[in-house]
Structure 1
Amino acid sequence: MGAIHWSTDTILLAILASVFLYSLLTNAIAKTVITLPIIFMVVGYLCARPIEALAEPDILDEGKRLLAEVTLVLVLFSDASHVRFKSLRQSFNIPLRMLVVGLPLTIGLGMSVAYLLNPESGLAMALLTAAVLTPTDAALGQTVVSSSDVPEPLRQTINVESGLNDGLVLPFVLFGAILASAGMEGAATDGLATSALLQVVLGPIVGIAFGWGFAKAMDLAQNRDLMAEAAGGVAFLAVAFSAFIGSEIVGGNGFIAAFVAGMVFGNTYKHEIHFIGEFMEGVGQLLTMFAFLVFGALLLPDGLKHMTWNAVVLAVLFLTVVRMLPIWLSLLGTGLALREKLFLGWFGPRGLASILFTLIMMDEFDFPGEQELLACVSMTVFLSIILHGISAAPLSKWIGRAT
Structure 2
Amino acid sequence: MNQANEILFIASLLVLVSIFAGSASSRFGVPFLLVFLGLGLLAGEGGPGGIVFNDYQLTYSVGSAALGIILFDGGLRTHFSTVRLVVAPAFVLATVGVVVTAGLVGVAAHYALGLGLLESFLVGAIVGSTDAAAVFFLLNMKGLALQKRVSGTLEVESGINDPMAIFLTLMAVELLRHGQPPDTLQLVAQFLVEMVGGLMVGVAGGFLLVALFNRVPVAGGLYPIVAMAAALLIFSGAYFLHASGYVAVYVAGLVLGNRRHRGAQVILRFYDGLSWLSQIVMFLLLGLLMTPDQMKPYLAGSGVVAGILIVLARPVAVLLCLVPFRYSFREIGFISWIGLRGAVPIFLATIPVLAKLPNSDVYVTAAFVCVLASLTLQGWTIAPVARFFGLELPPKPEAVSRTELDLGSTADRDVASYRVEADAPALGYRFTEIPLPRRSRIITVIRDGTVMDRLKLDHLETGDYILVLAPAEQFFSLDRLFTSRETSKRRKKRDRGEEVFGEFVLTGDTLLGEVALLYGLPVEEKDRGEPVGSYMRRRLRHRAVVGDRVRWGPVELVAREIRKDRVTSIGIELEPEEHPIWRGFRRAFGFD
TM-score when normalising by structure 1: 0.77
Q: Which amino acid aligns with 2:126?
A: V
Partner of residue 99, structure 2: 104
Partner of residue 271, structure 1: 260
Residue 342 of structure 2 corresponds to residue 347 of structure 1: no
1:193-342 pair list within 5 angstroms: 207=198, 210-224=201-215, 226-249=217-240, 252=242, 256-264=244-252, 266-267=254-255, 270-272=259-261, 277-299=268-290, 301=292, 304-332=295-323, 334-342=325-333
Deviations 1:26-75 (A, max 9, x none): 66644422121221122111111289965675xx3343233223223333
Q: Which amino acid aligns with 2:128?
A: T
Question: 2: CA distance between counterparts of 1:55 and 1:21?
Answer: 19
State which of 123, 130, 133 in structure 2 corresponds to 1:136: 130
* SS of residue paired to 1:181: helix
Question: 1: CA distance between counterparts of 2:238 and 2:150?
Answer: 35
State which of 31, 44, 51 in structure 2 corresponds to 1:48: 44
State which of 366, 375, 392 in structure 2 corresponds to 1:376: 366
The number of equivalent residue pairs is: 385
* SS of residue paired to 1:226: coil
Deviations 1:228-276 (A, max 9, x none): 45433223333333344445556x36xx134225425633784356666
Determine which structure has greater relative contact order: mean sequence separation of CA pairs < 8 Å that are 6+ residues apart, divided by chain length: 1
Question: 1: CA distance between counterparts of 2:53 and 2:385?
Answer: 44
* SS of residue paired to 2:323: coil
Q: Which amino acid aligns with 2:161?
A: N
Partner of residue 186, structure 1: none
* SS of residue paired to 1:169: helix
Partner of residue 15, structure 2: 19
Please state how far the C-alpha of 1:95 moved relative to its aligned partner: 3.4
Deviates more, 1:232-241 or 1:346-355: 232-241
* SS of residue paired to 2:98: helix
Residue 167 of structure 2 corresponds to residue 178 of structure 1: no
* SS of residue paired to 1:368: coil
Indicate the RMSD between aligned Cα atoms, in angstroms.
Answer: 4.0
* SS of residue paired to 2:28: coil
State which of 159, 162, 165 in structure 1 corresponds to 2:158: 162
Question: 1: CA distance between counterparts of 2:17 and 2:363?
Answer: 34
Q: Give the direction of change, closer, same or farther, for the CA distance of 1:154–1:90 in structure 2 (3 Å limit).
A: closer
Deviations 1:274-297 (A, max 9, x none): 666544421222121122122222
Please state how far the C-alpha of 1:25 moved relative to its aligned partner: 7.1
Partner of residue 362, structure 1: 352
State which of 383, 388, 391 in structure 1 corresponds to 2:381: 391
Deviates more, 1:309-318 or 1:16-25: 16-25
**Structure 1 contact 354–377 (Cα < 8 Å) conserved:** yes
Question: 2: CA distance between counterparts of 1:115 and 1:340?
Answer: 31
Please state how far the C-alpha of 1:345 moved relative to its aligned partner: 0.5
**Structure 1 contact 137–352 (Cα < 8 Å) conserved:** yes
Question: 2: CA distance between counterparts of 1:339 and 1:204?
Answer: 30
Question: 2: CA distance between counterparts of 1:364 and 1:294?
Answer: 17
State which of 63, 67, 86 in structure 2 corresponds to 1:72: 67
Please state how far the C-alpha of 1:354 moved relative to its aligned partner: 1.1
1:82-101 pair list within 5 angstroms: 87-90=82-85, 92=87, 94-101=89-96
Question: 1: CA distance between counterparts of 2:188 and 2:60?
Answer: 24
Percent sequence identity is 20
From the CA coordinates, give the structure whose radius of gyration is larger: 2
Question: 1: CA distance between counterparts of 2:212 and 2:363?
Answer: 47
Q: Which amino acid aligns with 1:113?
A: A
Please state how far the C-alpha of 1:318 moved relative to its aligned partner: 1.0
State which of 118, 122, 125 in structure 1 corresponds to 2:117: 122
**Structure 2 contact 295–365 (Cα < 8 Å) conserved:** yes
Q: Give the direction of change, closer, same or farther, for the CA distance of 1:106–1:195 in structure 2 (3 Å limit).
A: closer
Question: 1: CA distance between counterparts of 2:53 and 2:30?
Answer: 33
Deviations 1:327-384 (A, max 9, x none): 123232555443432221111121121122223x135423232121112111111212
Question: 2: CA distance between counterparts of 1:222 and 1:247?
Answer: 21
**Structure 1 contact 303–378 (Cα < 8 Å) conserved:** no
**Structure 2 contact 112–301 (Cα < 8 Å) conserved:** yes
Unaligned runs of 5+ in 1: 1-6, 184-188
Please state how far the C-alpha of 1:307 moved relative to its aligned partner: 1.6
Question: 2: CA distance between counterparts of 1:92 and 1:206?
Answer: 17
TM-score when normalising by structure 2: 0.55
Please state how far the C-alpha of 1:79 moved relative to its aligned partner: 4.1
Please state how far the C-alpha of 1:313 moved relative to its aligned partner: 1.0
- Structure with the largest fraction of strand: 2
- Structure with the largest fraction of helix: 1
**Structure 1 contact 44–293 (Cα < 8 Å) conserved:** yes
Q: Give the direction of change, closer, same or farther, for the CA distance of 1:174–1:18 in structure 2 (3 Å limit).
A: same
Deviates more, 1:315-324 or 1:281-290: 281-290
